[in-house]
Structure 1
Amino acid sequence: MRSLPHQFAISLVIGLCSCSLLDGDSGGKGVSDTAVGVPPSLDRPPLMRLGESRVAAASLEVIQACEKRLGLAAEDVQLAHPTNFGERKVRDSWGRVLQVKPMVIVLHETVISEPQALGLFQTNHPDDDQQVSYHMLIGRDGRRVRIVPDQKRAYGSGMSAFGDITMRDRPGSVGSINNIALHLSLVTPSDGRGDSHGHSGYTNAQYKSLAEQVLLWQATFGIPITRLTTHAAVDRSRSRYDPRSFRWDRFDPHYNHAAELCGLNQFNNEQAGP
């Protein structure tokens, strides 16, 4: 995501610091995503690429049947302003082909309240350093709130890498995994809207919806469980550690149940990575 000016963070009275949702890559509106006519530079090293997983995406019929078995309510669509997301970039400014398929799922938290987060996403941010978004929020009541379409690039993790994999798309930009990431954020409880190291945690409804959405994304794009991670794990700015107070032992039972119910246990194989 994009870092907001200090005075804006103060105006929200949210005490944002290293746990903040406000961080991201520089999108760069002055450089074509496709870099037409730009030959690959001979002195540029080859790009590191995340290998294809050993699990294939499920069919649309299987995914729809899974949604029905889970009894999912429709997404609450609250799309971000177009300045706060973009296309997944096909090439960098040196002409090298970039990976565009979603391959990693990153968990976040909002730090601010749901209305504040939605207002932030839906505000016109013409300046790169203010642009911010996730693909989806999970409300305190478990609602799935759609912010950015899956096929688009959300600005969720700025200076970031998954293992050694990162993408720097133009001179002056930082390495980021946004091009291959799906970003999902839990709405923070009221006692966590600041810079404390922890809070009272997330609701059972949030863990349930989170687990079900993760499974749907895995089935849609062929993403193994080994590529489910956190903002804290992928951050390379050494300033992000969300989602704070996240409990994998509360996530796992919901995930295991959903995978079993939908017959999608292949995505729950810890050996499914490349």
Structure 2
Amino acid sequence: MERSAQGFAGTGFPRERDAGVGVPAQPRAARRERGPAGPGVEAHASGAVRGEHTHGETPLPRPRPVVQRASVRGQVLDALRTALVAGELTPGEVYSAPALGDRFGVSATPVREAMQQLALEGAVEVVPNRGFRVIVRGARELAELAEVRALIEVPVMLRLARTVPAERWADLRPLAEDTVRAAASGCRAAYAESDRAFHRAMLALCGNEQLVGIAEDLHRRSQWPLVGGPATRGRADLVADAAEHTALLEALGAGDLDVVRALVREHFAGAG
């Protein structure tokens, strides 16, 4: 059964036909003027006479229109990710690109492209001739993701705890405080974004961009909702999760490896 996404109205997305920047309006016709070539010859605004160059000058290339289609697709992708994390798209339900496009005020094409990206991220699957089904996830998959994240990130955090000076960890405190504020708001989507920003900044200290990218993909996958919707983690869970960020920074700054190891594993086990 197809159903359109709820809660997308009023997102302010531009319609696809309005997304690009148009080419400046051209004159109704090249003005007719008396030039070196004689009367009645059509001259373009650039000064070049039709069919020939004036004084051997090379005509300037016409400006190309700026197409912002990728921007529209990116906005749709961000909104779909937010809707997934917030539980507005129900696991197991099928959503068509045209129906979602109507809600966004765009054609089905950027929605379909965004959904293809979400399929690569493991959030949806393609249903031929119907649309995209939100993946049904269970506790086992979440536990597996937590285990993989721990295998990757715990050794990195322990190494960083030995090598990164305390003042560098102190620089990340504003990001930790952002997660606390987002958790207090009770908005899962806002917390998910701030949570990823905090973990990304910590891992970036290792200088391995490939590792940061892989870890962020795993992190995002762990944030897709379980069956049962967003009620599985309430405000209290988010606040407790955010509090671990501050505690982790303190342990990293102090170089307390045992506490770092315990906090990271506990943090991953409670994520999702």
TM-score grouping bracket, smaller chain normalisation: under 0.3
- Which is bigger in relative contact order (C-alpha 8 A, separation at least 6)? 1
Q: What is the TM-score normalised by the length of structure 1? A: 0.24
